[in-house]
Structure 1
């Protein structure tokens, strides 16, 4: 038993009473379960908590966006991220907390509203299609979109996002361009309907609606017709 004499304690996971003297091998096996691994006579090895958390979030966004809320489990996220379900729960408090973190949308569209009305459709289309292609399956907005049909909180989050980052800003921009409040509101809602409908067809239903460049061209033309009246 001399070769199994080293005691390793894995915090936040499980305790291994006997492991091989070559603790590096054991660390590789049990690393997903460890916050800090303590070995007798060895230095503590801290986990890169922020990096691990971000890696879990990236995996969760992809799974939530691809499969929706209900089919995506904490275990599925943990397995795909190479960690234990307990670690996911420790970071996020469970599935609801994980979903909330994965669906936080960060967006900056100041450039869309900086310019003449005659170029608005082109600027917005470039922003929309650019987001689809740059973030692909890990877009938090797609996470909200796909889950909105099965989770009331996701539907509320998507509606809130549209009010704060789409309908509201478009309406204010159109009013600044001289449209009446009523006309600005109606055209902003029409812009929302077009973009959300196209997003649903392409990203949720995965319909073939053309490649990115073709979509950007005809979307720009359609948006411009809406806002110009």
Structure 2
């Protein structure tokens, strides 16, 4: 039952509440995975009543969809010499993985739940594939080359940011770029086998 004398939440308060919910959801999905993250745990982390989460996002699927929206902000690789594309992509992904927890949450959920896997597929198809298509020798090979790039950067992300394997964590950014950049470069521009 609602209080007829209560004032509606201001748009600014509503925006702040939504932001708190999404931040808490990203944290919970990253830490707990999709199955174990709950509306209640997200609400508790945001310091609000669970009914507000339901009000804004409907259900856990809606919450996950909103929390997993991300713009990779990929660089325009055509603006650099072609031989720098691999190193630039690796350096960019390292920065993105460390800027926020959305990619780590997506990766963690993507390996355990179809909603996360579908979201990861969409992000890479919509954002990575066009960037790759712009620099590959044969645009018809872009999907294959994009998936190879994705396998390299996701593999590093899994070992460095999710599993936290000590040798992967110990590498500096420069070392990761030096090791992985040429591999990604080959996936982008080497002649097809």
TM-score tier (shorter)? 0.7 to 0.9
Q: How far apart, in 2, do the equivalents of 1:45 and 1:152 lie?
A: 37
Where structure 2 has 5 or more consecutive residues not aligned to the other structure, the ranges are none
**2:123 aligned with 1:161, yes or no?**
yes
**2:168 aligned with 1:171, yes or no?**
no
Rg larger in structure: 1
On the 8 A contact 1:102/1:143 being kept in 2, the answer is no
Q: How far apart, in 2, do the equivalents of 1:184 and 1:86 lie?
A: 45
Q: 2:38 aligns with which of 73, 78, 86?
A: 73
**2:181 aligned with 1:223, yes or no?**
no
CA pair 51-121 structure 1, distance change in 2 beyond 3 A: same
Q: 1:201 aligns with which of 159, 164, 170?
A: 159
Q: How far apart, in 2, do the equivalents of 1:89 and 1:45 lie?
A: 17
Q: How far apart, in 1, do the equivalents of 2:84 and 2:59 lie?
A: 45
Q: How far apart, in 2, do the equivalents of 1:165 and 1:173 lie?
A: 14
TM-score by length of 1: 0.71
Higher helix share: 2
Q: How far apart, in 2, do the equivalents of 1:55 and 1:133 lie?
A: 20
Higher strand share: 1
Q: How far apart, in 2, do the equivalents of 1:151 and 1:163 lie?
A: 18
**2:91 aligned with 1:126, yes or no?**
yes
> CA-atom RMSD, angstroms?
2.4
Q: Which residue of 2 aligns with 1:41?
A: none
On the 8 A contact 1:145/1:158 being kept in 2, the answer is yes
The superposition leaves residues 184-207 of structure 1 with CA deviations (integer Å, 9 ceiling, x where unpaired) of 554333222211211222222222
TM-score by length of 2: 0.83
Q: 1:152 aligns with which of 93, 114, 125?
A: 114
Q: 2:65 aligns with which of 100, 113, 116?
A: 100
2:93 partner SS: helix
Where structure 1 has 5 or more consecutive residues not aligned to the other structure, the ranges are 1-9, 16-35, 39-43
CA pair 85-165 structure 1, distance change in 2 beyond 3 A: same
On the 8 A contact 1:112/1:127 being kept in 2, the answer is no
